[in-house]
Structure 1
Amino acid sequence: MTTFNRKTCMTIAAISDIHSNVFALDAVLGDIKKRGVDQIVNLGDILYGPIAPRATYELLMAHRDDIVTIRGNQDRQIYEALHLSTMAEIADNPTMDFIVKDLPKDAIEWMRALPFDCHLSEDVYLCHGTPTDDMVYLLEDIATGVPTVRSDSNIFSLLNGIDSPVIVCGHTHIPRTVTLSSGQMVINSGSVGYPAYEDDLPVVHKMQTYSPHASYALITCIETPQGKRWQTEHIKVAYNHKAAAKLALNNGREDWAFALNSGRVL
């Protein structure tokens, strides 16, 4: 686990699930720049997608000194595919084939070196899925195929002892803030670059935001005589989603193009 010695009261811009959408990332970084934040955090699932992996990586490298980054499950899946699969096997997945051909070697090594999670400060903890599993949704139960917020006790169980006042996660692409009975605040920043998807694990389910906007979260600490208070603002940023959808369509992903244009699953 990575730990940073940051000041404890700060304003954080949390981004996640960029999924190779350089158009959305550029717009979000531009919006963040106007807001005077102290720290940007990136919660993973960065370069997997049929849009622009290399360009997304290059834009992030231009800002690498300003962003604390952890890895997501699909970052891991990219470098694991290169390690565990033959190129013929990768070619059977056209999207993965496009990604590994588009990315330079240093992008793969960068993803491989990213930490699983991070204590940004004594108050703020970062993970992609849960503190123990990058494939599990921390806030949503999808057993019925429709996401519903987990019970207080279920979320506590998944936190596995993490007692930070602020927990920031991604993975589900659904912007959400949940306050637990302990007073802890769990924030999902939503997805910068991919506003809807369907998955069949562990059961078939759909995650939809019903809007093409890029999502991120602004998390602000406020000093009061009674102590620190944290507040969250979920930001929706308009960008050229049609350009992103066109590239996805050019790479054979009609499902991605539809999601990018509508925030819905095809």
Structure 2
Amino acid sequence: MKIAVVSDIHGNLLALEAVLKDIKQEAPDVVVNLGDCVSGPLWPEETAALLRETNWPTVRGNHDRFLIEDPIDKMSWSDAFTARSLSPESHEWLKTMQTDIRLTDEIFLCHGTPDNDDRYLTEKVDGPKGHLPDEETLIAELKGEKAAIVCCGHTHIPRVVKLNSTGQTILNPGSVGFPSYDENHPLRNEMAAGSPHARYAIMTKADGNWTFEDKIIEYDWNAASCEAEKHDRTMWATGLKLGFFGPLS
């Protein structure tokens, strides 16, 4: 069995198209999407239209939720831009997303943590950046979820974490469309993948064992950066072009 795992596209159509091309070559049995699909100063409606065609199992990310639950005047700039850009069909599509998905007995999908789409599972945010929480904290954040593989996104940083005490694996594929950001909600966090590439992951089961592969894909990130700059989102433009700090606001 071969599964492609994508997450955090954030309206970056060019990155998504490059990932789709690579996924076609990989020919997985299924592709799953961990959410935060369209929010950003790029191509939200075009991205939504393409994703609607894929019919992938898709988890609702925190920004997907903001788009359907929050009044526009209470949204961040990027979410408000996205909400105004989306067609009625895309708004309805956002409402069909699930808060989590049990893909198989072995595989559980969520955006942040199993019970909260706005918490980081695979990144420590209350201390030095770029560090994993300890195993005790990770197990506590799983809130009793026993699936052998838990796939999550939200941090935009690729991770494969094996929990020694439970034997579980946590997979974070990183971000397809936005490699670096800074946000103030719920805590001030800075995340940076360190390069501008689009990222996703491949999980493969053979002879009863799972293997995990980070996929790092080139695309025209300069064009994506220019699109963000066109909308006066300079820090987005920097994050897209360099893979380092740019705020999600």
TM-score normalized by the length of structure 1: 0.89
Of 16, 20, 28, which aligns to 1:29?
20
Higher-Rg member (1/2): 1
1:162-210 CA distance string (max 9 Å, x none): 1111111100000010000121110001000000001223432211011
1:106 lines up with 2:89 in the alignment: yes
Partner of 2:195: 211
- 1:96 Cα deviation after fit: 3.0
Partner of 1:191: 175
Aligned length: 245
Q: Distance between the aligned counterparts of 1:14 and 1:46, measured in 2?
A: 13
1:73 lines up with 2:57 in the alignment: no
Partner of 2:210: 230
Q: Alignment identity in percent?
A: 38
Would the aligned equivalents of 1:145 and 1:205 in 2 still touch at CA under 8 Å? Answer: no
Of 11, 18, 31, which aligns to 2:2?
11
Would the aligned equivalents of 2:118 and 2:186 in 1 still touch at CA under 8 Å? Answer: no
In structure 2, the residue corresponding to 1:192 is in which secondary structure? coil
In structure 2, the residue corresponding to 1:37 is in which secondary structure? coil
Q: Which runs of 5+ in 2 are unaligned?
A: none
Q: Distance between the aligned counterparts of 1:214 and 1:245, measured in 2?
A: 13
Q: Distance between the aligned counterparts of 1:97 and 1:150, measured in 2?
A: 33
Distance 1:70 1:93, change over 3 A: closer
Partner of 1:95: 78
Q: Distance between the aligned counterparts of 2:4 and 2:237, measured in 1?
A: 27
Q: Distance between the aligned counterparts of 1:37 and 1:26, measured in 2?
A: 16
Q: Distance between the aligned counterparts of 1:169 and 1:158, measured in 2?
A: 12
Partner of 1:132: 115
Letter in 2 for 1:28: V
- 1:32 Cα deviation after fit: 0.5
In structure 2, the residue corresponding to 1:149 is in which secondary structure? coil
- 1:153 Cα deviation after fit: 1.2
Alignment map for 1:55-70 (pairs within 5 Å):
55-64=46-55, 67-70=56-59
